[in-house]
Amino acid sequence: MLLGSKQPVVAKANAIIRRPVEEVFHFVADGFFENYPKWSPEVVELKALSEGPLRVGSMARQVRIDHGHRSESTFKVTELQPNRRISFSGISNPYHCAYEFENPANVPGPSTRVAFTFELSELEMFMKPFEKLIRAAVQEGVERTVKNLKNLIEGKS
């Protein structure tokens, strides 16, 4: 049972990727099962639980190792707007994340602004004393995710 902070833990980050929106979206959404562990190396196992291409309602299971802590979660695609947005929600854990894609008007050449938001709905009561550390770790992870995406898509390692 989740009791504790009623304030969700929310972290956001964005980056400009020097590639067209369609290419960036394709890498994230269409290549999700192949590419997600590349931009989020904490994911040590990822398995599709639904057949066919990624779509609203598709489900997956992941195993992550974050700062030495192993966790498993099942999640589903809750929103999929081609070249605009893809969202996931945890089924086994209370989280939601979204990737938004837009062509920034003030950047010359083919570019995409990717905005990533991660929200942990509630903290378990025993985690409440560590809330400040958890918020900092989640923000750091979100920023690292966006940086990894940028580097992978632009061909930097």
Tens-digit pLDDT profile for residues 21-40: 999 999 999 999 999 999 99
Residue 1 lies in a domain: no
Nearest CA-CA partner of 64 in 87, 97, 86, 31: 97
Residue 120 lies in a domain: yes
Residue 107 lies in a domain: yes
Q: Which domain holds residue 93?
A: 9-153
Residue 3 lies in a domain: no
Residue 23 lies in a domain: yes
User: How many structural domains comprise the chain?
Assistant: 1
CATH number at residue 80: 3.30.530.20
Tens-digit pLDDT profile for residues 84-118: 999 999 998 889 999 999 998 787 789 999 999 99
Tens-digit pLDDT profile for residues 59-84: 999 999 987 889 999 999 999 999 99
Model pTM above 0.95: no
Checking phi first, is residue 93 left (phi over 0); if not, alpha (psi -120 to 50) or beta?
A: beta
DSSP-assigned states of every residue in 64-100: EEETTEEEEEEEEEEEEETTTEEEEEESSS-EEEEEE
